[in-house]
Chains A and B, each alone.
Chain A
Amino acid sequence: MIRKTRVLFATRFAEMAEYRAEVIIWMLSGTISLVMMLVWMAQAAAAPGGQIRGYDGSEFATYFLSVWLVGQLLVVWVGWELDFMIRQGTLSPKLLRPLDPMWVEYAAHVAERFVRIGPMLVLLVIFSFLSGASFTRDLWAYPVALGLCILGFTCRFLYEYALGLLAFWTESSTAFSEVAWLLYAALGGLFAPLTFYPQWVQNIAVWTPFPYMLGLPAQLLAGKATLAQAGFGALILFGWVVVFWFARLLVWRLGLKKYGAVGA
């Protein structure tokens, strides 16, 4: 089991390391939180007192750079991968292996994080220097935020996987992934800290996993969330991971029947 995991991880890492130039471009193209950062910083500078709802320019910078960082750790593209594999039939040989193809994809995503982390930290230092962001000095926040990121990533991976599997039935599974991204972006806090949203949006958002996977770890890094909030978020995320685990399993079982039925 351990050997299997090691081989799986090592091969996926080698594969992802080949895409290192692309990884940097993918990172740079996820700029929406940086755009929002610049706009909010300019808004704060223009506001009376230089701050909006207790956030001044450098606090906005810290929040949005943290969101950017967490967002980088949560990137998932498995929906597109499944859509392609199901449509092109390259899923078939993978079914013959004595291993659920999900684990291969999961390992690939995790391995990609290790390719990403070096250039990501370099960019983070440059951006922080340019924008005047300052991260929290409470050291406990970093491992806690990382833990939330791991839970959040797993959660996102599972629901994207289940959505990608819809390609068994429909040609537009990537559109569902796009809609899921929009929910994630809107409720996760990509455009503003969640407390800036209208109350009714916040009331809906607290029941979804999105604020806890993106906004909450970012708030931890910015020094604006407590350990209790992190624990509560982790619990909710864990609940969603369980839900999505079974949802994925169900879609997978039904999908395989359908896949076999057409003789593919």
Chain B
Amino acid sequence: MTRYLRLIRIFTGATVSAQLEYRANFIGAVLSSLGQVGVALLAIGVLFGQGSDTVGGWTFREALLVTGFFILTEGFIAVFVQPNMSRIAEAIRTGNMDFTLLKPLDAQFSVSTRYLNVLRAPDLLIGLGLIVYAASALTTTPSGLLIAAVLYVSALTIVYCIWLALSTTAFWFVKTQNVAELFNGIFGAGRFPVTAFPLPVRFALTFIVPIALITTVPAQAMTGRLSPALAIASPLVAAGLFAVTRWFWLRAVASYTSASS
């Protein structure tokens, strides 16, 4: 375990110093982070600007909480998940996956933690800031915050598992970045509370693609309106998905025959 933690530190150091070489990129990244949040706020601002106090039963501040979780999750994907997952397909195509598999390390660990995109770290700060701002006007309890934190960890696990499962298909299909696009498209629904959608869509977003568990459920936990069923469902779904993707990954690696064969 300590060995893995030490490795994470080394990986992080290497990838951060490699990225800081390109300073102009940072300005571009900050610009697009600010633009991103501006657009998210505009979307929700316009929605609430039409005279109604609630959207799907959520007040403005409560809905802002969901947007905060949405931006935070997008930041998590951009910083931690995507840089690694997008390289899996490339490594398989070029045969570099061989080296990863030969190392005396769990291969899923090394493909998942090797890279970081520090340039998108402002997204994490903006998301957190928005959550704090939204929560400051709401009544929250310490236990609510604790449950929200736990549920958000399961949410991030779900996000990671979906991405890993999609990227693992690269062992059979050469190109996968388009599948990631598809995920981003559907994940866009997570910027609003799930109750803002018509009933059939709400059902799909909860049970078919668990977007609701990622952004709405932690926000519900913070405002203390979470149903116990959903509170239990989120960690269960996360654990189940993790087991399934782990199994899927091991199967994919077992069937891997290098690039040239």
Contacts and interface: CB of A to CB of B under 8 A. Distances in A.
Interface of A: 22, 25-26, 28-32, 35-36, 38-43, 45-47, 52-53, 170-176, 178-179, 182-183, 185-186, 191-192, 196-198
Contacts of B43: 36, 191
A36 B197 CA distance: 9
B49 to A, nearest CB: 7
A261 B29 CA distance: 27
A41 B36 CA distance: 24
5 contacts: A22-B175, A32-B185, A47-B52, A172-B29, A176-B31
B182 interface: yes
Nearest to A31: B185
Which of A47, A53, A192 gathers the greatest number of chain B CB atoms within 10 Å? A192
Which of A43, A173, A196 gathers the greatest number of chain B CB atoms within 10 Å? A43
Contacts of A176: 28, 31
Nearest to A45: B198
Nearest to B175: A22
What is the interface of chain A mostly: helix, strand, loop, or mixed?
helix
B29 A182 contact: no
A213 B196 CA distance: 29
Interface string B25-60: 101110110011011001100110111100110000
B22 interface: yes
Contacts of B55: 39, 43
Contacts of A39: 47, 55, 192, 196-197
A53 to B, nearest CB: 6
A232 to B, nearest CB: 24
Given A40-B47, A172-B25, A191-B39, 10 more contacts: A28-B185, A41-B198, A47-B52, A171-B22, A172-B29, A175-B27, A182-B32, A183-B35, A185-B39, A196-B49
Nearest to B22: A171
Contacts of B236: none
- Which interface class (under 10, 10 to 19, 20 to 34, 35 or more) fits B? 35 or more
B179 interface: yes
Contacts of A29: 178, 181-182, 184-185
Contacts of B38: 182, 186
A175 B201 CA distance: 33
Contacts of B27: 172, 175
Contact of A25 (B50, B181, B191, B197): B181
Given A38-B198, A198-B49, A175 B31 contact: yes
A42 B196 contact: yes
B186 interface: yes
Contacts of B191: 35
Contacts of B232: none
Contacts of B184: 29
Top 3 A-B pairs, shortest CB-CB distance: A172-B28, A175-B28, A29-B185
A125 to B, nearest CB: 19
Contacts of B179: 25
Interface string B183-202: 01110110110001110010
B198 A42 contact: yes
A36 B46 CA distance: 11
B24 interface: yes
A192 B47 contact: yes
B194 to A, nearest CB: 11
B28 A170 contact: yes
Given A26-B181, A29-B181, A172-B28, A192 B188 contact: no
Contact of A175 (B32, B188, B192): B32
A36 B24 CA distance: 34
B182 to A, nearest CB: 5
B169 to A, nearest CB: 13
